[in-house]
Amino acid sequence: MKNKKYPFLFFLIVLLSTGIGWAQNEKITLHLDNVSLEHVLSKIEEKTAYSFQYSKQVIDVRQKRTIHVDKQTIHNVLETLLKGTSIQYQIKNRQIILSAKKNGKDQYKNVERYNQRP
């Protein structure tokens, strides 16, 4: 009986891991001009399975942003959106955590690239 459980568990792990990889490769199109960062984040949540986590005391979501991307991965969209800001991001499963860069360095960027699948 025990031996029959292992193939099922292996199948479940493979299924779950491919779902996470698929979400990170999902393509996003956005064309927004001079809107709040909060509005852009809301649009990304509407178009994807991701949700954002951040503190309004740390991240100024009222700042105006313009973004034009066609069929880009979540990583490319966030890199474009946050370029020139003091905001960094980290993706954990389907949650995107926004935080302030420390000393002007993006601490999570290397972690994010490591987790990204080809």
Residue 44 burial (CB count, 10 A): 20
Say what the pLDDT of residue 113 is. 43
pLDDT of residue 31: 98
For residue 89, pLDDT beyond 70: yes
Would you place residue 100 in the very low, low, confident or very high pLDDT band (cuts 50, 70, 90)? very high
Q: What is the model's pLDDT at position 19?
A: 47
Distance CA(7)–CA(67), nearest Å, equals 45
User: Higher model confidence: residue 21 or residue 69?
Assistant: 69
- The residue assigned the tokens 């951040």 is 54
Q: Model-level pTM? A: 0.69
Residue 64 binned pLDDT confidence (cut-offs 50, 70, 90): very high
Please report which confidence band the pLDDT of residue 102 belongs to, taking 50, 70 and 90 as the band edges: confident
Rounded-to-integer distance, Cα 105 and Cα 118, Å: 25
